[in-house]
Structure 1
Amino acid sequence: MGLPFSALNKLGVPGLGAVTTGQVYDRHFKNKDTRTFEEFHLAYVEFCKYFNTVLPGQDFDTPDLEVIRKWYADTWEPLQKDDEKKKMFIEYMQEKVTEATVEDNLFIMAGLAAPAAAIIAKKSGESIPQVKKFKVHLIPNVVFVPLCTLVAIMGATAVQMSKKSKDNKPTT
């Protein structure tokens, strides 16, 4: 998490480091009661949700619940001062929170295959009577190909999200 922000700061993006650390911490933890793990975890989830919406296009993977619970018990709970908590929390976030990565090559395959498939589908659609009635041949390629690619990537996203939600369901 710390690497992309430090790289952006070096490129001259002003204040991004402050927004991602101090201001966000103050907004979600400073004035909240976090004496129990449940209260801390609610503030943490709120923080992660806010963090992912503030930086559009980037999503961050957070540690598992047990890792957060252990860090809370070992580090957060014993600290008394707000300044120490803030410093330790920022260090923890930089160490444990990572940018979400694509775990499979579904996006890459969809992005590479969709333009060619769109052109092939459009050309073959001109000779198939059932497809010809949709008049796909009237849509210019500069519109049709990106639209098909976008639909393919959205489909790949839906498949990956469905897969993740199935993986995260607790087994009974």
Structure 2
Amino acid sequence: MLKVQEIRELIKLVDQSSLDEFTYEFEGSKIKMKKNITGTVSVTQPVKQVAVPEAAPAPQIVETAAVRQEVKAEEPKVEATKDAATDTSNLHKITSPMVGTFYAAPSPEAGPYVKPGSKVSNDSIVCIVEAMKLFNEIEAEVNGEIVEVLVKDGQLVEYGQPLFLVKPE
């Protein structure tokens, strides 16, 4: 079975050659390429499905459009968070030092390390961020009171993403 990259190479070779038609059969798979009058190459395969480069851009465009829609849908949420942060500019943000999964408690049965109103010191553990099966305890790095928890338990977090707002003492 040919890989997509190999099929693309075949298309380039046929396109650059003086051939008008090319057929390739191997283990029950068949690829047939014909040059049109305009010089473009078309690929058909009646026996097995093979990714055809001509069809590949369509799903990518659809996927990209879907991603763009998701990003646009999330932008107002991010802006709302930024607006809230600007109103509370005197608060310290505890940010994620890595990409991973946020856990508010040491185990599913235990209560959260901190919640709004909890007092923390600079070496207090406020949460765990799991990355690659390693559980990393995150410290407050500031003395103060937790004002807000910005992420939910089990949520994926990015590097530098604010996790908590702390009112410093």
State TM-score, norm by structure 2.
0.25
Give 1 or 2: higher strand fraction. 2
State TM-score, norm by structure 1.
0.25
Structure ID, larger Rg: 2
